[in-house]
Structure 1
Amino acid sequence: MSTSQTMQNQTTHRATPDKEAIALLPTFERLGLDRITLVSTGAQAGRAYDQLVVARAWGFDTESKPTFKVGEQSDGPHILQLATAERAWVFQLHEPECRAVAADLLAFKGIAKAGFGLGDDRKRIIHKLGVEPQGILELNTVFHQRGYRKDMGVKGAVAVLFNQRFMKSKKAATSNWANARLSESQLVYAANDAYAAIRVWQALGLG
Structure 2
Amino acid sequence: MTDETLLPPYIGIDARSIVVVNSPAEALIASRELAAADVLGFDTESKPVFMKGQVSQGPHLIQLATQDKVFLFPIRRGEAYPALQAILESTSILKVGFGLGDDQQRLFAKLGITTQHVLDLARALRTDSRSDVGAKTAVAQFFGQKLQKSKKISTSNWALLPLTDKQKQYAADDAHVALKIYRAWQAQRDPL
Q: What TM-score results when the alignment is normalised by the length of structure 2?
A: 0.91
- The answer to whether structure 1 residue 156 and structure 2 residue 137 are counterparts is yes
**Match runs of 1:19-168 below 5 Å:** 21-94=3-76, 96-97=78-79, 99-144=81-126, 150-168=131-149
How well do the aligned residues superpose, as a CA RMSD in angstroms? Answer: 1.8
Q: CA deviation at 1:97?
A: 4.8
Q: CA deviation at 1:98?
A: 5.1
- Per the alignment, do residues 98 and 26 of structure 1 end up closer, same or farther by CA in structure 2, a change over 3 Å counting? farther
1: CA distance, partners of 2:184 / 2:67: 11
1: CA distance, partners of 2:36 / 2:15: 22
Q: What TM-score results when the alignment is normalised by the length of structure 1?
A: 0.85
Q: CA deviation at 1:127?
A: 0.7
Residue type at the aligned position of 2:155: T
Q: CA deviation at 1:157?
A: 0.4
Aligned pair partner of 1:179 in 135, 152, 160: 160
Please give the secondary structure, in 2, of the residue aligned with 1:205. helix
1: CA distance, partners of 2:98 / 2:88: 16
Residue type at the aligned position of 1:116: F
Q: CA deviation at 1:95?
A: 5.7
> Number of aligned pairs?
188
- Per the alignment, do residues 25 and 149 of structure 1 end up closer, same or farther by CA in structure 2, a change over 3 Å counting? farther
Q: Give the match for residue 183 of structure 2.
A: 202
Please give the secondary structure, in 1, of the residue aligned with 2:186. coil
Q: In the alignment, is the contact (CA less than 8 A) between 2:44 and 2:59 conserved in 1?
A: yes
Please give the secondary structure, in 1, of the residue aligned with 2:42. strand
2: CA distance, partners of 1:174 / 1:131: 24
Q: Give the match for residue 188 of structure 1.
A: 169
Q: Any gaps of 5 or more consecutive residues in structure 1? A: 1-14
Q: Any gaps of 5 or more consecutive residues in structure 2? A: none
2: CA distance, partners of 1:175 / 1:137: 26
1: CA distance, partners of 2:12 / 2:102: 25
Please give the secondary structure, in 2, of the residue aligned with 1:34. helix
- Per the alignment, do residues 53 and 149 of structure 1 end up closer, same or farther by CA in structure 2, a change over 3 Å counting? same
1: CA distance, partners of 2:70 / 2:183: 15
